[in-house]
Amino acid sequence: MTSDKPTMLDSGLVPQLGQTVQKSISTLQARAEATTSKFLEQADEVISKISLTTERRKKSQEKNKNKGMQFAPVKIPLARRRQTFAVFMYTSMLFLCLGLNFLALRYWEGVYFYMYITYIGWKLVFQIFHRNGGLPIPWFRKCFLWQWFVEYFPVTLHKIVSLDPSDVYIFGLLALKHIKKNKKKKIKNKNNRYHPHGIIGMGAWAAFACQAAGWEQLFPGVDVRLVTLKLNFFIPFFDLFLTFMGVCDASKEGAKESLDAHHGDVTLFLAERKGFVKVALVHGASLVPVFGFGENDLYSQVSNPKGSFIRKLQEKLQQRLGFAIPIFRGRGVFQYNFGLLPNRIPIDIVFGEPIKCPKLMPEEITKEIIDKYHKEYMMALKELFDAYKEKFYHESQLLPKLHFK
């Protein structure tokens, strides 16, 4: 017996459903952006109403100036408030997720608590997205919030040459082009690192995680993934946030370079890290030198020279925990003296010419071959830094030097 009713595929319902879902998502994003902007406008009005009079404000600013405290102006354009809001949400996301877990354990009851426990169980047993290229959601990576995030600094991408989308790349040791051809053969890069790492790696997030800095226009067809510490994926809810941004896990060695993120100094822990070269040789990937000018200037770090008590403590914690803990300060929402927010300093990320590595079998890869391409990469990175440091450090009285450790 046959049926004359058309199937979903015959009637084109599946494409129509996809278009409807995409249209709904776009509408929701537009509404969310409008609501957020309206909220910030109302907050701006409230701040203006409760602000001091002109005379009292001048006296207060003069008094605080003598004390060294710098407050943000009351009258700030809405665009800057939106940018600050976006960066605040990003820097606070880890703490928000930790707080959400505390609320779930402490106050959720009934079906909500069982849903939370089910999620934890599923996460522990089945969640492996962060080891297989993440689970990026395009609209989430292009959210208006990330556009505001990029505009805060701002972050600008610069390319020297175009890249072939059919090739495989490892960018700056912190991001890699996702391999789709063979899902069973995964890249497991244990030494991924963006140069310089900085305190948090704001430039890396803007360039490789969110699609708001112009990556798709600069390198069309190149599907990229950012990597971070594996420890971040142990935190419920925060792991989903990273996974939906397409972030994958890296190694425990990461972030050691953050201990040397100081103004006017660029120190890269790269001389003894060669695992990424072996990964490139196994997959026939090209190594792309990447440098983020301005990354080390976003925060001020407590002086921690080699041999000091602070440095010894930080290195000991890094060995025990698997990640470094720098002591730093940025700025706050309403003042510029301290806080978790980075300073508004432009980040210019320059992509150099790729270094093509041959595809070899693991048994064919020797120490001499690894050293050869590792040396080529370090030389290319130094040449990239020297070629652009005058352009992007033009306001510095003394140009920084690049050091390898």
Residue pLDDT, tens place only, 352-378: 999 999 999 989 999 999 999 999 999
End of a domain among 39, 73, 107?
73
Residue 5 lies in a domain: no
Residue 53 pLDDT > 90: no
Any idea of the CA torsion for 82, 135, 269, 231, to the nearest 10 degrees?
90
Q: What is the pLDDT averaged over residues 152-179?
A: 80
| 252/150: higher pLDDT | 150
| CA proximity to 325, closest of 226, 259, 234, 405 | 259
**According to the model, what pLDDT value does residue 100 have?**
96
Using a pLDDT cut of 70, give the percent of the chain over it.
76
The domain total for the chain is 2
Range of 44's domain?
22-73
Residue 4 lies in a domain: no
Using a pLDDT cut of 90, give the percent of the chain over it.
38
- Write the burial class of residue 337 (CB in 10 Å: 0-12 exposed, 13-18 middle, 19+ buried): middle
- Same-domain check for residues 213 and 299: yes
Maximum Cα interatomic distance, the chain, rounded to a whole number of Å: 91
- Same-domain check for residues 210 and 131: yes
End of a domain among 14, 47, 73?
73
Residue 275 lies in a domain: yes
**According to the model, what pLDDT value does residue 275 have?**
84
Give CA–CA dist 389/391, Å, rounded: 5
Residue 305 pLDDT > 90: no
Residue 96 pLDDT > 60: yes
- Same-domain check for residues 173 and 53: no
Residue 8 lies in a domain: no
Q: What is the pLDDT averaged over residues 339-364?
A: 93
**According to the model, what pLDDT value does residue 194 have?**
61
Tell me the average pLDDT of the chain.
80
Residue 2 pLDDT > 60: no
- Same-domain check for residues 52 and 97: no
Residue 74 pLDDT > 90: no
- Same-domain check for residues 220 and 369: yes
pTM reported for the whole predicted model:
0.79
Residue 210 lies in a domain: yes
Question: Three-state secondary structure along 17-49?
Answer: HHHHHHHHHHHHHHHHHHHHHHHHHHHHHHHHH
pLDDT band for position 183 (cuts 50, 70, 90): very low
- Same-domain check for residues 32 and 157: no
- Same-domain check for residues 254 and 343: yes
- Same-domain check for residues 180 and 59: no
- Same-domain check for residues 257 and 298: yes
Residue 11 lies in a domain: no
- Same-domain check for residues 180 and 241: yes
End of a domain among 10, 43, 73?
73
- Same-domain check for residues 88 and 52: no
Q: Which residues contact 148 (CB under 8 A, 6 or more apart)?
A: 82, 83, 85, 86, 87
Q: What is the pLDDT averaged over residues 228-247?
A: 90
- Same-domain check for residues 67 and 101: no
Residue 348 lies in a domain: yes
Residue 9 lies in a domain: no
